[in-house]
Amino acid sequence: MTSTWNNREKTEILLSKADGTQLILKSGDFIAYEGHEKGCRIEEIFGREGPIGITYLPWRGDRWATSQFTLRGNPRFLICKPTGLPHYGIHPNWESVKKIENPEYYMIQ
């Protein structure tokens, strides 16, 4: 799995999986992955040369979790490969990432 910028503005990540599939991720997208099956919303994408990581807020079933910050930074920081590998954060199984429907949509209905 590798992640690269998908656009010149560096607001979208192109995630290339080992099976040849590709996924474009941007702020506001709702994703699920191994360990976070209920899903989480992408808040912000960080990086210059390549994507370093993504901050997110998990869905708690009826509301969004609150933002957190510790001495090491945001504990809800997903590391993108390969650029983000030397940084602090969570190393998810990127092969399991998929976009899913935002649960807020159903709460509004």
Burial of 15 (0-12, 13-18, 19+ CB in 10 A): buried
Q: Quick one: what percent of the chain has pLDDT higher than 90?
A: 66
What are the residue boundaries of the structural domains of the chain, listed by start? 2-108
Average pLDDT across the chain, whole number = 89
Task: State pTM to two decimals.
Answer: 0.86
Q: Residue 31 — very low, low, confident or very high, per pLDDT cuts 50/70/90?
A: very high
